[in-house]
Amino acid sequence: MDEIDLARIRRSYELAELREETISRNPIEQLQQWLHEAHNAGVLEPNAMCVSTALGGQPSARIVLLRGLDERGLVFFTSYFSRKGQEIEANPRAAVLFYWPLLERQVRIEGRVDQLPEDESDAYFAGRPRGHQIGAWASEQSEPVENREILDQRMRDYSERFEGEEVPRPHSWGGYMIRPARVEFWQGRPNRMHDRLEFTRDGNVWSVRRLQP
C-alpha cells in the first residue's frame, strides 16, 4: 500500500462566499437553506451530523442523523442508555458539526440538550421501517456483546415476539432536542481566508459577527 503524503493533500476552496448582507438573520432558517442546498446538490445523507458530548472532561463524538429542525432546535433519536444518552443525562450540553465538502461548507452548533416529549418520540418511532423498530429492541446500544450471532438471534427473537402486531417504542429509546445557543456558518474561501459568521443568542434575539479564519 502506497503511503499517503498527508502534509501535501490540499485544495483551494472557490465555490462561494458568505456575506453578512445576504445571510438570514435567523440561523435556523439559514441552516434549513443550507440543508436544502446540500440535498439538491446530491450530498450523500446531507442530514448527517457529528454530535459531541462530554463526561468528566472527556469528549466523545459520533455521527447521527438529524430528524427534525424547527425554531426550538435540532432533533435526533437514540437509546437513552447509550453512551451519548448517559453523557447527556450527566451533562446536558452538546456540540454539533455538519460538513458538506461538496459545497465547501460546515456548520458548528452548541447548546443545551433536552429529551423530546414522549408523544413526539412515539410519532417518529411509529413511522420508522419495521426492521429499525425491531432493532431498537434487539440492541442494548453501546453495551458489549460476545459476537454478531447474538445480535442476529435477538433480531429473530423480537421479530417473532411482535409478529402480526405493531412494534411499540421501547421506553429506553427516544428523541433529544438540541437547543442552539451558538451557531457558526463556515464557507471555504481561497488561500484559507475562509468566511466564518457566528450567531449567538440572548433570549430570543440572535446577533451575528464575523470571525477571522
Assess whether 209 carries a catalytic annotation: no
List 19, 192, 209, 210, catalytic entry: 192
In three-state form (DSSP H/G/I as H, E/B as E, the rest C), the secondary structure along the chain is CCCCCHHHCCCCCCCCCCCCCCCCCCHHHHHHHHHHHHHHCCCCCCCEEEEEEEECCEEEEEEEECCEEECCEEEEEEECCCHHHHHHHHCCEEEEEEEEHHHCEEEEEEEEEEECCHHHHHHHHHCCCHHHHHHHHHCCCCCCCCCHHHHHHHHHHHHHHCCCCCCCCCCCEEEEEEEEEEEEEEECCHHHCCEEEEEEEECCEEEEEEECC
Which amino acids are annotated catalytic? 192
